[in-house]
Amino acid sequence: LKTAMGQSHAKIIFFGEHSVVYGQPAICLPVSKIKTSVTITAVNTGQTIQSRYFTGKLSAMPDSQTGIQLLIRTILTELKQEATPFAMQIESAIPAERGMGSSAATAIAIIRAFFHFFEEPLSHSELLRLADVSEQYIHGNPSGLDAATTSSRFPIWFVRGRRPQTIPIKQNAFLVIADTGILGQTGLAVQYVKNRLAQDPQAELAIEHLGQNAKQARICLANGDANTLGHLMNDTQKNLAMLGVSHPLIDQYIKLALDSGALGAKLTGGGMGGCLIVLVNNQTHAQKIATVLQQNGAVQTWTEPLRSLKHKG
Ligand code: PMV
């Protein structure tokens, strides 16, 4: 039985959420341990999908899955395989709507699986172009940051409209990622910031400040300065909260983490729910903070050494 697999992983925004919309740089990190896998198996008849949202025929996917359906049809058309029967299984450990790039990761894994299945070469720019088909449908006007990071093994320096760059990391610190369990509301948060900018001159300064922090963070990542990185995270959180995109539970978990000795903490992604990230010195401390957050209601936590995220070159 012929089968092929495609994989991808979660992403987090380390610095630059919201300000990236206004041309400032963002630093995004792949989270390789939180994976999405797509398996395609050759069958005699039918084109079927099995995922946590839907099991059935490609032609019978519900409205909520139109982005994925459109992507699959585009791939099949471009590869001239419109009528080829297949059974697709999508498995993802990435929670949806928490700013962890679950929809982009699914798209990336599907594209990789199909190109593998049909033994066609796939360039990185083609991968991103195809991922944009479902991302455009699902998110309206995506920056491309999610697809770039969920398909990369390396940290990404992202400026809207420019080619994503990979950046070096020389750090012994650890990150704890914690899920509040509350759905993030990226669309609403982006709109909220837009309104703030129209009314409040301070908001413009905050955006500028967020961009400066991303630039400084890039230097700290390269030279191993975890303490300054922690300060930059705290300052970034202050500015994001000022823009109105934090959440009471995020604030509460951040306080808990800092009271437990973390170097810094902030929300990640669009905010108004979703996940937070915490910087700590070592793995033991990371585990301790993950436990504290879970005991206080975080639905899931992950710890990840920053040093595992190496630069390509
Ligand atoms: O919630 P996420 O991870 O999709 O991130 C949104 C990032 C924003 O800067 C808030 C919006 C954007 O399109 O870049």
Residue 52: φ, ψ to 5°? -70, -15
How many other C-beta atoms can be found within 10 angstroms of the C-beta atom of residue 184? Answer: 27
Give the count of alpha carbons within 13 A of 113, CB side only: 28
Residue whose entry in the numeric block shows the structure tokens 């905010």? 271
Task: For residue 24, give the nearest of 207, 284, 292, 277 by alpha carbon.
Answer: 207
**Buried residues in 19-53 as b, exposed as e (16+ CB within 10 A):** bbbeebbbbbbbbeebbbbbbbbeeeeebbbebee
- The reply to whether ligand 1 has any atom less than 6 angstroms from the CB of 18 is yes
Which residues lie closer than 8 Å to 73 by C-beta, 6 or more apart? 58, 82
Residue whose entry in the numeric block shows the structure tokens 């099991």? 55
Tell me whether residue 54 is in a domain: yes
Tell me whether residue 313 is in a domain: no
Separation of alpha carbons 162 and 37, rounded Å = 28
Together in a domain, 213 and 246: yes
Best mutation site among 13, 100, 207, 250 for ligand 1 pocket (most ligand atoms within 8 Å of CB) = 13
- The reply to whether ligand 1 has any atom less than 6 angstroms from the CB of 190 is yes
End position of a domain, from candidates 158, 178, 209: 158
What integer pLDDT is reported at residue 313 of this predicted model? 36
Q: Which helix (H) or strand (E) holds 276?
A: strand 275-280
- The reply to whether ligand 1 has any atom less than 6 angstroms from the CB of 184 is yes
Together in a domain, 193 and 304: yes
What integer pLDDT is reported at residue 185 of this predicted model? 83
Together in a domain, 151 and 183: no
Residue 190 near residue 18 (C-beta atoms within 8 A): yes
For position 217, which CATH number holds?
3.30.70.890
Residue 259 near residue 250 (C-beta atoms within 8 A): no
Total-model pTM: 0.92
What number is the ipTM of this complex? Answer: 0.94
- The reply to whether ligand 1 has any atom less than 6 angstroms from the CB of 21 is yes
Report the number of secondary-structure helices (H) and strands (E) in the chain: 9, 11
Query: Encoding tokens for residue 244?
Result: 């109105």
Separation of alpha carbons 273 and 307, rounded Å = 27
Q: How far is the CA of 241 from the centre of ligand 1 (A)?
A: 15
Best mutation site among 19, 20, 210 for ligand 1 pocket (most ligand atoms within 8 Å of CB) = 20
List, in sequence order, every residue forming a beta bridge with 220; answer none if it has no partner.
none
Tell me whether residue 149 is in a domain: yes
H-type alpha helices, the chain: 66-78, 102-117, 124-139, 145-150, 186-199, 201-223, 226-243, 248-259, 283-295
Together in a domain, 190 and 293: yes
Residue whose entry in the numeric block shows the structure tokens 């790039």? 101
What integer pLDDT is reported at residue 149 of this predicted model? 95
Regions of the chain short of the pLDDT cut 50: 311-313
Residue 178 near residue 293 (C-beta atoms within 8 A): yes
What integer pLDDT is reported at residue 170 of this predicted model? 86
Together in a domain, 13 and 148: yes
End position of a domain, from candidates 111, 137, 158: 158
Separation of alpha carbons 157 and 155, rounded Å = 7
Residue range of the domain that includes 64: 3-158
As a whole number of Å, the end-to-end CA separation of the chain is 39
Together in a domain, 13 and 150: yes
What integer pLDDT is reported at residue 6 of this predicted model? 98
Tell me whether residue 163 is in a domain: no
**Buried residues in 288-310 as b, exposed as e (16+ CB within 10 A):** bbbebbeeeebebbbbbebeebe
Question: What atom in ligand 1 is closest to the CA of residue 21?
Answer: 14
Together in a domain, 134 and 174: no
How many other C-beta atoms can be found within 10 angstroms of the C-beta atom of residue 77? Answer: 10
Tell me whether residue 124 is in a domain: yes
What integer pLDDT is reported at residue 311 of this predicted model? 45
- The reply to whether ligand 1 has any atom less than 6 angstroms from the CB of 12 is no
Together in a domain, 132 and 210: no
Residue 266 near residue 61 (C-beta atoms within 8 A): no
End position of a domain, from candidates 107, 133, 158: 158
Q: Domain total for the chain?
A: 2
